[in-house]
C-alpha cells in the first residue's frame, strides 16, 4: 500500500476513534462515585497515554509525505525535537506495557478480594503506579541516552529520512523493550486466567455482570498490547534475517497494531462496558432533556391552537390556504423560476454537446437535473398560490399538510444530491475507480432515507398547529422528532460541504505529489471538485441559516431584522446560485456561454471555385 493511502486511511478512522475518548472520560467522571477509584485513575492514564501516543506517532508517519517536507526541513536544525519524538515513541511503549499490567492486576484484585481482604491495593495503588512509571522512565533514560538522531534529505527524490548515529543504544533499547514486553505478557496472561477462574465463583451474585464486562475490557486491552509485542518480535526477527525470502515486512502491520491499541480500546469500552454505555446514554438524554425544556414554551403555545383534538380523525377537518401569504408566494415563485435559468443552460449544453453530458453526467449534470426536478413541486405549489389563492382557500388538513410538507421535504432532499455526489467522488478518487451513476443514485437514496422516515413519522404521530402558508397543519406530536427534523435540514448541507471539501483537499494533495488521480484525463477533476464545493457551500449558508432561524423561534430568541430578511429570501436563490458556480468555474460551460451570448458566432461568405455549380458557402470564423 502507498504511504499516502495508508496515512489517509489512518486519519479517517483515527480522528473519530481518538474523539471517542472524550465522551467516555466524561461518562467515567460522572459515574466515578460508583466505580473503583483505581479503575478510574488507571483508565484516565490509559486514555491520555493513547491520545498522546497517537498524536506523537504522526511525527514518524509523515516523514515520506512531500506535503510535509517543510516541517522536517525546520527540524533539521533542531535535533533535540527529533530525539524527543523518538524517545517518547519508545517510552509510550513502556507505559502501554506497564499500564496493561496495572489494569490487569487491578481487575484481578477487584475480583479476588470478594473472598479475600485486599484493601491494601485500594490504599496504595496510586503510589504503586507512580513508582512503576518512574522506574520505567528512569530506566529508559539510562538505557537510551545519549541519543543522536538526525534528518537527512535525499538530493534526488527530495524525501527525508531519519539517520541513527546511535545504533548501539537503539539496539539495546529495542532488546530491553522486547524482553519487558514478553515478561509483561506472561504475567498478564497468568493474571487474566486467574481472574476468569475467580469470576466463575461470582456467577450467582449481583456483581457478576458488572465485573464480567470490566474484565472483558481489561482482557481486550491485554490482547491489543500483546499484539504489539508480537509485532515487535516480528520486527526484531525481520531485522535479523533481512535479505532472506521475506517479501512483506511487518512494518506496515505495526502501524495498524499500534492504532488498534490506541484507538481500539475506546471503541471496545463503548461496546463492552454496559455501565459506561448506560451512563453515556443517560447523559445524552439529559442534554436532550435540557433542549426539550427550552422547546417546551413554544410547543405549549402551539398545542393551545383551538378546535382540533390530537387524533387522526381530524385529517378531513377544514383548513385554509391563507390568502395573505400570496405576495410572499409570488416572490418565492419568481425567484425559483429565475434560479432555473442556470439549470436550463446546463441542460442545453449537455444536449448541444454530447461530450459535456458524458463528462459531467455523474456530477454537474446529475446535480442540476436532480435539484430541478426535486424543487419543481414546491415551485408549482407557490405558483398555484400566486394564481389561485386570491383570498383564503378552503381545503382539508391532510391535503394542506401533504402539499406543504412533502414539497418542502423534496426541496430539502434536493441537497442530498450534493451529499451523494461528494461522497461518491471521494470514494472513486480514493480507490481510482470510475464514478458510476448507479452508485450516485444509491448514495442519494441512502442519505434521503432518514428524511423520508422523519416525514412519514410526522404523518403517523402528530398534532395540529398554525402555519403561515396554510393552517392548521399537522406536525410532530413529540419534541424530539421535531428537533431531529430541524437538525437534519441543518446538517445535510454541511455534510455536502465536508465531503466536497475533502475531495478538493485530496486532489490538491495528490497534485502536490504529481500523481494522476483521475480515471480520465478529459476532465480537470480539481476544477469539478472546486465547483461542487461552491455548490455545497451556498446551501450550507442559506439552508443552515434557515434552520438556525427556526431554532431561534423554538428557543424564543429574537433574531435580528437583517437575518430574518436574509433567511426569507436566500433559500429560494440556492438552486440557481449553486448551479451557476459550475458555469463560472468550468471551462466547458464558459465556452458554451461565450459562444452563445458573449461572442456570437460569425460567418463569412466564401466563393467556391468557379468551375463548381455551388454559388457560395458559409464558413465559421
Per-residue model confidence as pLDDT tens digits over 29-65: 877 777 778 888 888 888 888 888 888 888 777 777 7
pLDDT score of 206: 64
Q: How many Å separate Cα 349 from the centre of its chain? A: 35
- Section 99-124 average pLDDT: 76
Q: Residue 233: which residues within 8 A CB-CB, separation 6 or more? A: 178, 182
- Spell out the residues 6+ positions from residue 354 whose beta carbon is closer than 8 angstroms to its own: none
Distance in angstroms (rounded) separating the CA atoms of residues 544 and 548: 6
Q: What span, in angstroms and rounded, lies between the C-alpha atoms of 444 and 423? A: 10
SS3 category, 18:
helix
Task: Give dist(CA 417, CA 445) in Å, integer.
Answer: 9
Q: Mean pLDDT for the chain?
A: 76
Instruction: Tally Cβ neighbours within 10 Å of residue 507.
Output: 21
Q: Is residue 299's pLDDT more than 80? A: no
- With contact defined as beta carbons under 8 Å apart, do 489 and 547 qualify? yes
More confident residue, 362 or 276: 362
| pLDDT reported for residue 135 | 86
| Residues pairing with 160 in the sheet | 153
DSSP for 244-303?
A: SS--S-THHHHHHHHHHHHTHHHHHHHHH-HHHHHHHHHHHHHHHHHHHHHHHHHHHHHH
Provide mean pLDDT across the span 477-495. 73
d(CA 331, CA 569): 9
Q: 555 falls in which pLDDT band (50, 70, 90)?
A: low
Tell me the torsion sign for CA atoms 300, 405, 549, 489: positive
Question: C-alpha 423: how far from its chain's center?
Answer: 11
The structure's pTM equals 0.50
Q: Tens digit of pLDDT for each residue in 238-266?
A: 666 654 444 445 556 777 778 888 888 88
Dihedral, CA atoms, 183, 186, 191, 194, nearest 10 degrees? -150
Q: Say whether pLDDT at 190 is over 60.
A: yes
State mean pLDDT over 540-566. 64
Residue 291 has a pLDDT of 45
Q: Which of the four pLDDT bands, split at 50, 70 and 90, describes residue 478?
A: low
Which of 141-150, 154-163, 386-395, 576-585 has the lowest average pLDDT? 154-163
Nearest to 420 by CA among 571, 314, 556, 535: 535
Contacts for 176 with CB less than 8 Å, ≥ 6 apart: 139, 143
C-alpha cell at 190: 497468568
Would you say the C-alpha torsion 133, 136, 140, 143 has a positive or negative sign? positive
Across-strand partners of 619? 604
Closest-CA residue to 103 (of 128, 138, 134, 136): 128
Picking from 224-233, 302-311, 467-476, which range would have the lowest pLDDT averaged per residue? 302-311
E strand or H helix that includes residue 150: strand 149-153
Residue 83 has pLDDT above 60, yes or no: yes
Tens of pLDDT along 418-446? Answer: 888 888 888 888 777 777 888 888 888 88
Band (4; pLDDT cuts 50, 70, 90): low
pLDDT surpasses 50 at 127:
yes
Query: Which has the minimum average pLDDT: 279-293, 365-379, 497-511, 565-579?
Result: 279-293
Q: What are phi and psi of 222, to 5 degrees?
A: -60, -45
DSSP character string of 155-214: TTT--EEEEES-HHHHHHHHHHHHHHHHHHHHHHHHHHHHHHHHHGGGTTSTTHHHHHHH
318 three-class SS: strand
Domains in the chain, start-ordered, CATH in brackets?
3-285 (1.20.1070.10), 309-598 (1.20.1070.10)
Q: How crowded is residue 192: how many other Cβ atoms within 10 Å of its Cβ?
A: 18
Cis omega (within 30 of 0) for bond into 319: no
Whether residue 259 contacts residue 10, with contact meaning beta carbons closer than 8 Å, is answered with yes
- Please tell me which residue, 568 or 241, carries the higher pLDDT value: 568
Report the C-alpha gap between 483 and 415 in whole angstroms: 19
- On the question of pLDDT at 286 being above 50, the answer is yes
Query: Model confidence at 394, in pLDDT bands (50, 70, 90)?
Result: confident
Of the pLDDT bands very low, low, confident and very high (cuts 50, 70, 90), residue 156 is: low
526-529 long-range contacts, CB within 8 A, separation 24+: 527/585, 527/586, 527/587, 528/360, 528/363, 528/364, 528/586, 529/425, 529/500, 529/503, 529/504
Convert 538-605 into a string of H (helix), E (strand) and C (coil).
HHHHHHHHHHHHHHHHHCCCCCCHHHHHHHHHHHHHHHHHHHHHHHHHCHHHHHHHHHHHHCCCCEEE
Q: What is the mean pLDDT of residues 301-329?
A: 64
Q: In the predicted model, what is the mean pLDDT of residues 128-134?
A: 85
Confidence of residue 158 (pLDDT cuts 50, 70, 90): low
Which has more pLDDT, 236 or 610? 236
Contacts 24+ apart (CB under 8 A), 379-384: 379/333, 379/336, 379/337, 379/340, 381/407, 382/329, 382/330, 382/332, 382/333, 382/336, 383/329, 383/333
Number of H helices, E strands in the chain: 21, 9
Higher pLDDT, 248 or 147: 147
Report the candidate in 400, 554, 378 with the shortest Cα–Cα distance to residue 464.
Answer: 400
Determine the 3-state secondary structure of 474 from DSSP: strand
**pLDDT confidence of residue 148:** 78
Cell representation of residue 263? 484507538
Closest CA to 583 of 594, 569, 570: 594
What's the confidence (pLDDT) of residue 605? 43
Burial of 420 per CB tally in 10 Å (0-12, 13-18, 19+): buried
Band (pLDDT 50/70/90 cuts) for residue 479 is: low
Is the C-alpha dihedral spanning 516, 518, 519, 524 positive or negative? negative
325-344 pLDDT, tens digit each: 888 888 888 888 888 888 88
Provide CB contacts within 8 A for 453, sequence distance 6+.
Answer: none
Amino acid at each position: 500500500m502507498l504511504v499516502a493511502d495508508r496515512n489517509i486511511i489512518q486519519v479517517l478512522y483515527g480522528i473519530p476513534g481518538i474523539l471517542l475518548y472524550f465522551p467516555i472520560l466524561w461518562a467515567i467522571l460522572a459515574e466515578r462515585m460508583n466505580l473503583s477509584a483505581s479503575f478510574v485513575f488507571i483508565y484516565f492514564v490509559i486514555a491520555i497515554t493513547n491520545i498522546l501516543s497517537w498524536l506523537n506517532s504522526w511525527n514518524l508517519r509523515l516523514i515520506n509525505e512531500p506535503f510535509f517536507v517543510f516541517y522536517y526541513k525546520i527540524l533539521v536544525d533542531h535535533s533535540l525535537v527529533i530525539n524527543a519524538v523518538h524517545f517518547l515513541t519508545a517510552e509510550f511503549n513502556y507505559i502501554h506495557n506497564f499500564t496493561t499490567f496495572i489494569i490487569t492486576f487491578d481487575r484481578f484484585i477487584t475480583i479476588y478480594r470478594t473472598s479475600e481482604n485486599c484493601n491494601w491495593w485500594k490504599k496504595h495503588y496510586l503510589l504503586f503506579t507512580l513508582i512503576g512509571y518512574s522506574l520505567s522512565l528512569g530506566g529508559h533514560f539510562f538505557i537510551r541516552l545519549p541519543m543522536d538522531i538526525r534528518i537527512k534529505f535525499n538530493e534526488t527524490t527530495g524525501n527525508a529520512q531519519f539517520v541513527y548515529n546511535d545504533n548501539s543504544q537503539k539496539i539495546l533499547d529495542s532488546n530491553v523493550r522486547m524482553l519487558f514486553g514478553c515478561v509483561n505478557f506472561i504475567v498478564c496472561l497468568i493474571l487474566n486466567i486467574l481472574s476468569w477462574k475467580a469470576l466463575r465463583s461470582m456467577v450467582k451474585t449481583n456483581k457478576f455482570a458488572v465485573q464480567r464486562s470490566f474484565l472483558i475490557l481489561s482482557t481486550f486491552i491485554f490482547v491489543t498490547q500483546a499484539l504489539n509485542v508480537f509485532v515487535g518480535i516480528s520486527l526484531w526477527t525481520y531485522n535479523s534475517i533481512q535479505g532472506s525470502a521475506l517479501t512483506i515486512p511487518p512494518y506496515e502491520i505495526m502501524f495498524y497494531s499500534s492504532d488498534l491499541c490506541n484507538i481500539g480500546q475506546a471503541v471496545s469500552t463503548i461496546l463492552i462496558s454496559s455501565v459506561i454505555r448506560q451512563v453515556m446514554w443517560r447523559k445524552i438524554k439529559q442534554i436532550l432533556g435540557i433542549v426539550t425544556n427550552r422547546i417546551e414554551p413554544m410547543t405549549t403555545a402551539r398545542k393551545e391552537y383551538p378546535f382540533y383534538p390530537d387524533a387522526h380523525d381530524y385529517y378531513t377537518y377544514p383548513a385554509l390556504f391563507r390568502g395573505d401569504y400570496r405576495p410572499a408566494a409570488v416572490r418565492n415563485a419568481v425567484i425559483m423560476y429565475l434560479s432555473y435559468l442556470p439549470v436550463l443552460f446546463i441542460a442545453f449544453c449537455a444536449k448541444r454537446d454530447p461530450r459535456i453530458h458524458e463528462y459531467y453526467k455523474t456530477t454537474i449534470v446529475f446535480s442540476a437535473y436532480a435539484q430541478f426536478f426535486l424543487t419543481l413541486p414546491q415551485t408549482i405549489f407557490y405558483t398555484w398560490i400566486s394564481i389561485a389563492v386570491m383570498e383564503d382557500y378552503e381545503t382539508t388538513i391532510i391535503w394542506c399538510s401533504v402539499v406543504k410538507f412533502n414539497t418542502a421535504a423534496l426541496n430539502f432532499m434536493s441537497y442530498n444530491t450534493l451529499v451523494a455526489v461528494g461522497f461518491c467522488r471521494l470514494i472513486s478518487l480514493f480507490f481510482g475507480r470510475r464514478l458510476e451513476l448507479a452508485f450516485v443514485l444509491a448514495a442519494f437514496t441512502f442519505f434521503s432515507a432518514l428524511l423520508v422516515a422523519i416525514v412519514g413519522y410526522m404523518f403517523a404521530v402528530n398534532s395540529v398547529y398554525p402555519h403561515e402558508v396554510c393552517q392548521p397543519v399537522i406536525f410532530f406530536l413529540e419534541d424530539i422528532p421535531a428537533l431531529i427534523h430541524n437538525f437534519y435540514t441543518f446538517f445535510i448541507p454541511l455534510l455536502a460541504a465536508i465531503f466536497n471539501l475533502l475531495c478538493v483537499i485530496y486532489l490538491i494533495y495528490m497534485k502536490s505529489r504529481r500523481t494522476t488521480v483521475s480515471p480520465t484525463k478529459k476532465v480537470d477533476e480539481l476544477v469539478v471538485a472546486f465547483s461542487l464545493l461552491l455548490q455545497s457551500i451556498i446551501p450550507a449558508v442559506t439552508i443552515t441559516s434557515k434552520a438556525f432561524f427556526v431554532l431561534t423561534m423554538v428557543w424564543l430568541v429574537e433574531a435580528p431584522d437583517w437575518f430574518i430578511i436574509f433567511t426569507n429570501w436566500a433559500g429560494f436563490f440556492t438552486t440557481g446560485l449553486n448551479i451557476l458556480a459550475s458555469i463560472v468555474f468550468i471551462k466547458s460551460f464558459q465556452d458554451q456561454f461565450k459562444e452563445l451570448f458573449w461572442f456570437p458566432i460569425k460567418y463569412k461568405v466564401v466563393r467556391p471555385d468557379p468551375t463548381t455549380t455551388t454559388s457560395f458557402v458559409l464558413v465559421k470564423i
